Structure 1
Amino acid sequence: MTRLARVDMYAVAPLYPSDKVAGRVAGKGEHFEWSSNHATKIHSADPLAVRRPTDNELSRPDYVDLTGARLGRLMVMDVAAEITGNGQKWVVRCVCGSYETRKARYIKACVAGNNPGSSEPMCDACAYTRRLQRGYHNPKKAAAAAQAIQSSIR
Structure 2
Amino acid sequence: MTRLARVDMDAVAPLLPGDKVAGRVAARGEHFEFTPAQSTKVHSPDPILSRRPTESEFALPSFVDLTGVKIGRLTVLGIAVDVITSTGQRWVVRCVCGSYEVRRARYLKACAAGSNPGDDEPMCDCCGYTRKLQRGYHNPKKAEAAAQAIMEAAR
TM category (shorter chain) comes to 0.7 to 0.9
Q: Does 1:31 align with 2:45?
A: no
Matched with 1:41 is 41
Q: Which residue is equivalent to 1:62?
A: 62
CA distance in structure 2 between the partners assigned to 1:40 and 1:104 by the alignment: 16
Aligned to 2:119: 118
CA distance in 1, matches of 2:97, 2:89: 24
Post-superposition CA distance 1:72-113 (Å, at most 9, x none)? 111111111112433210011111111110000000000111
Unaligned runs of 5+ in 1: none
- Partner amino acid for 2:141? K
CA distance in 1, matches of 2:147, 2:84: 39
Q: What's 1:98 paired with?
A: 99
The DSSP-based 3-state class of the residue aligned with 2:78 is strand
Instruction: Give the RMSD, CA atoms, in angstroms.
Output: 2.3
In the alignment, structure 2 segments of 5+ residues that lack a partner are none
Question: What is residue 136 of structure 1 aligned with on the other side?
Answer: 137
Task: Give, in whole Å, the separation in 2 of the partners of 1:149 and 1:98.
Answer: 31
Q: What is the one-letter code of the residue matched to 1:134?
A: R
Aligned residues: 146
Q: 1:12-68 CA distances to partner (integer Å, 9 max, x unpaired)?
A: 89x921100111111111111111122222111111101111222111111110111
One-letter amino acid of the counterpart of residue 143, structure 1: E
How far the C-alpha of 1:129 sits from its partner, in A, is: 0.8
What SS is found at the alignment partner of 1:129? helix
Question: What secondary structure, in the 3-state scheme, does the structure 2 residue paired with 1:92 have?
Answer: strand
Write the distance in 1 (CA, Å) between the matches of 2:40 and 2:85.
Answer: 7
In the TM superposition, residue 123 of structure 1 has moved relative to its aligned partner by 0.4
Task: Answer with 143-152 or 50-59: which moved more.
Answer: 143-152
- In 2, the alpha carbon distance for the partners of 1:135 and 1:74 equals 24
Superposed, 1:80-95 pairs within 5 Å as 80-86=80-86, 87-95=88-96
